[in-house]
Chain A
């Protein structure tokens, strides 16, 4: 805290000297950006992508940025210890990159008002120094759902859920709606793994789905294990999740939802450097470049590929929203009327399946 003020003052003084006295925003001369990861960097998915974003910082700002990270931090009480450790280590900005770090982030932020906290995929900004950032993964899911609906031969698609939280439920609904749109016979089975990263459990879940006749698997967990499981069985396909997972091209991995956090990290740390940093709640999608669609491989027929790319481009252009009415909730009650579009508030708290999905969301 002391050191930060000292640095800031020094930077201010330097700025005054260089600009001959004209007022400049009070930025930092050097930023230490710290990252809390829920899995190992080598997961090839979610955490790997966050780390790529972190590395982009050093590329963009060179010596002006120092990065630090902790891998495989469990969600829950231990997260608070890990975040506090970073706060004491002189970090200026701390990115906590999993939904389950939400309460811990806010709790630590209350104790360190001079440090900036950025929580990924959460919605709590209880302290003025906590910002949240998220990506509209459901836009990518709409594209994957389109491919899934076309590609399934058994008309059964499977979804490996992590935890029953709004972000995951958005993904399940978006996938199902768009698979159903191109293939009315499609049904969806959901298996909850109750973990973000546990290759053994993810593989078990994928195997169970395949045993049940599912031939297209969507995953909302971070490892490549479901793709490895799909690879064992002829004719089963899946999608890269969070990262490209290119090792499984051209099949079973036929496309991917890629999270690109680099622009956001570069922007936020840049704002801290030049003094324009403000609390925010970012939620970008395909248009903003945070969600990218990985190469659609030749295992997918050309017309399906074209349909998927059109969906991607329409979403990017803003002419199509994945949650456009008419849509009913699972129990048959009306949710969105013809042409009505779901607002962000409804999406951020989504806790129901749309009509046609069987099964219940665990409480």
Chain B
């Protein structure tokens, strides 16, 4: 199907691939924020995942090992945030920002000597005949495993948050940590686990940038994707299903720019480059205008908990 010189199936396929890093990171952050923690260090955890995933994949000559390493190191890096905010009760906003700045610096140091190297290839999952279905084949069935994993994680996150006891506890901690504490839940321990999950997802999203999307290592290569992921969580009212929608919208805007140019449309590049950020601002303004509570923000978001009783 070709509309206006653009093959829609291929465009949608690129969009799905382009959205993976945002989607993974935003899903992780959704869980973190649902537990009442605001971690602004997504960008930092992503870049750490990108560099460590790349180094592991190149050293071990195995792309899957790279993703695992990216997730592990992202989680380990988020431990810094967890220790500062959950143990030492530091301000979450300041700590998160510091985490991002620190992550960018450390990754640049760790990545010395890894510029211009080719990582092992992450190929498409062989889905046999499904590949050849008209329209749906090129759009849905020619992706690498991480794309399908990220979609599965949308479902898994939704299921755990909304249909399991663990999810209920996480939400309880995020809505009213005093009440959750009174019920006997270890608020800070639960939050720590959520932060680790968020770090792992962001790290894996970062590894996807350095191992599949680009694929090579350069300084600061996540280039603001972590911030978009943060915006999407708000945009999606902290719901996994809407996070998927948001990630595709933003991923779509990012791939649409070069595609329109390649198809010969004379659209100024600047407008397309700023479109995701302009939409973020518009969405935030609309969503925060008057409605307030109906946004669905966890009531204890950003507040530290100290068990005084």
Which residues of A are interface residues toward B (Cβ below 8 A)?
Answer: 40-44, 48, 72, 158, 189-192, 194, 197-200, 203-205, 207-209, 211-212, 214, 223-225, 228, 231-232, 247-248, 358-360, 362
Partner of B216, one of A194, A224, A360: A224
Contact yes or no, A204 B258, CB < 8 A: yes
CA distance A232 to B213 in the complex (A): 11
Q: Could you list 28 A-B pairs, sorted by A, with CB under 8 Å?
A: A41-B115, A42-B115, A44-B115, A189-B263, A189-B264, A190-B261, A191-B258, A192-B261, A199-B218, A200-B213, A200-B223, A204-B18, A204-B255, A204-B257, A205-B258, A205-B261, A208-B258, A209-B258, A209-B262, A211-B14, A212-B5, A212-B263, A223-B218, A224-B216, A225-B216, A228-B214, A359-B266, A360-B266
CA distance A192 to B258 in the complex (A): 8
CA distance A232 to B269 in the complex (A): 26
Contact yes or no, B118 A228, CB < 8 A: yes
A200-B209, A200-B214 known; 15 other A-B pairs, CB under 8 Å?
Answer: A43-B116, A43-B218, A44-B115, A158-B262, A191-B262, A192-B261, A199-B214, A200-B221, A205-B262, A208-B14, A211-B7, A211-B10, A211-B14, A212-B7, A225-B215
Contact yes or no, A211 B219, CB < 8 A: no
Smallest CB-CB A-B distances: 10 pairs: A42-B115, A208-B258, A44-B116, A212-B262, A208-B259, A208-B262, A42-B116, A191-B261, A199-B214, A211-B10
CA distance A204 to B215 in the complex (A): 11
Contact yes or no, B255 A42, CB < 8 A: no
Which residues of B are interface residues toward A (Cβ below 8 A)?
Answer: 5-7, 10-11, 14, 18, 113-116, 118, 121, 209, 213-216, 218-219, 221, 223, 254-255, 257-259, 261-264, 266, 268-269, 273
Contact yes or no, B262 A214, CB < 8 A: yes
Q: Which residue of A lies closest to B216 (CB)?
A: A199
CA distance A194 to B218 in the complex (A): 17
B264 to chain A, nearest CB (A): 5
B1 to chain A, nearest CB (A): 13
CA distance A212 to B10 in the complex (A): 9
B55 to chain A, nearest CB (A): 14
Q: Which residue of A lies closest to B118 (CB)?
A: A247
Contacts of B263 in A (CB 8 A): 189, 212
Q: Which residue of A lies closest to B215 (CB)?
A: A228
Contact yes or no, B258 A362, CB < 8 A: no
Contacts of B18 in A (CB 8 A): 204
Contact yes or no, B116 A224, CB < 8 A: yes
Contacts of B113 in A (CB 8 A): 42
A246 to chain B, nearest CB (A): 11
Contacts of A224 in B (CB 8 A): 116, 118, 216
B183 to chain A, nearest CB (A): 46
Partner of B219, one of A72, A190, A208, A209: A72
Q: Which residue of B lies closest to A48 (CB)?
A: B116
Contacts of B6 in A (CB 8 A): 212
Contacts of B215 in A (CB 8 A): 203, 225, 228
Contact yes or no, B255 A358, CB < 8 A: no
CA distance A43 to B218 in the complex (A): 8
Q: Which residue of A lies closest to B13 (CB)?
A: A211
Contacts of A200 in B (CB 8 A): 209, 213-214, 221, 223
Contacts of B218 in A (CB 8 A): 40, 43, 197-199, 223
Contacts of B219 in A (CB 8 A): 40, 72
Contact yes or no, A192 B223, CB < 8 A: no
Contact yes or no, A211 B264, CB < 8 A: no
Contact yes or no, B264 A359, CB < 8 A: yes
A191 to chain B, nearest CB (A): 5
Contacts of B7 in A (CB 8 A): 211-212
With A203-B214, A204-B258 as known contacts, state yes or no: A192 contacts B118, CB within 8 Å.
no
Contacts of B114 in A (CB 8 A): 42
A1 to chain B, nearest CB (A): 34
Q: Which residue of A lies closest to B223 (CB)?
A: A200
B229 to chain A, nearest CB (A): 15
With A189-B262, A200-B209 as known contacts, state yes or no: A362 contacts B14, CB within 8 Å.
no
B16 to chain A, nearest CB (A): 13
Name the residue among B223, B254, B261, B269 with the largest chain A CB count within 10 angstroms: B261
Contact yes or no, B118 A212, CB < 8 A: no
A135 to chain B, nearest CB (A): 21
Q: Which residue of B lies closest to A243 (CB)?
A: B116
Contact yes or no, A223 B258, CB < 8 A: no
Contacts of A205 in B (CB 8 A): 258, 261-262
Partner of B11, one of A198, A211, A225, A248: A211
Contacts of A208 in B (CB 8 A): 14, 255, 257-259, 261-262
Name the residue among A197, A211, A223 with the largest chain B CB count within 10 angstroms: A211
Q: Which residue of B lies closest to A42 (CB)?
A: B115
Contacts of B262 in A (CB 8 A): 158, 189, 191, 205, 208-209, 211-212, 214
CA distance A16 to B113 in the complex (A): 47
CA distance A194 to B268 in the complex (A): 11
Contacts of B216 in A (CB 8 A): 199, 223-225, 228
With A191-B258, A192-B269, A204-B258 as known contacts, state yes or no: A43 contacts B115, CB within 8 Å.
yes
CA distance A332 to B181 in the complex (A): 78
